[in-house]
């Protein structure tokens, strides 16, 4: 299993109501893009969240979070939220809202 189908379904059920979202397999998991920019993803049983470079340090102080790494290198502005941190729909919605806010603040491609 590369990613949790149940977590992916929960994310999908939240994002299906929003315009501009698409799914794409990436990083060995499933990513959800907003207008072509990666917003959140499901990697193994954790949620990948775009939090932005400036917000990452304080976000990593929250429970159930860790730095996202690929190939042993940190991905700046990205965190992983462990399963206990997205156990409730309210928690999951909060992380998704954070990522959407960051993506909407990014310049157009």
Digit-coded pLDDT (tens) for 75-87: 999 999 999 999 9
Interaxial angle between packed helices 89-105 and 5-15, expressed in degrees from 0 to 180 and rounded to the nearest 10: 60
**Strand-pair category, 65-70 with 46-50:** unpaired
Domain residue ranges in the chain: 5-105
Task: Indicate the pTM of the whole model.
Answer: 0.93
Nearest 5°: phi and psi at 59?
-70, -35
Cβ–Cβ < 8 Å for 63, 85: yes
**In the chain, what is the greatest distance between 2 CA atoms, to the nearest angstrom?**
35
pLDDT tens readout for residues 18-52: 899 999 998 789 999 999 999 999 999 999 999 99
- Look at residue 101 in the predicted model and tell me its pLDDT: 96
Top-level CATH class of 5-105? alpha beta
pLDDT tens readout for residues 53-62: 999 999 999 9
Which of left, alpha, beta for 4 (phi over 0: left; psi -120 to 50: alpha)?
Answer: beta
């Amino acid at each position: 299993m590369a990613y949790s189908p149940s977590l992916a379904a929960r994310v999908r059920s939240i994002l299906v109501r929003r315009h501009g979202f698409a799914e794409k397999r990436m990083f060995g998991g499933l990513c959800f893009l907003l207008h072509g920019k990666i917003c959140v993803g499901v990697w193994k049983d954790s949620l990948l969240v775009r939090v932005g470079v400036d917000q990452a340090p304080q976000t990593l102080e929250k429970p159930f979070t860790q730095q996202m790494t690929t190939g042993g290198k940190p991905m700046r502005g990205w965190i992983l939220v462990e399963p206990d941190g997205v156990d409730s729909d309210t928690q999951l919605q909060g992380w998704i809202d954070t990522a959407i806010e960051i993506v909407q603040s990014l310049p157009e491609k």
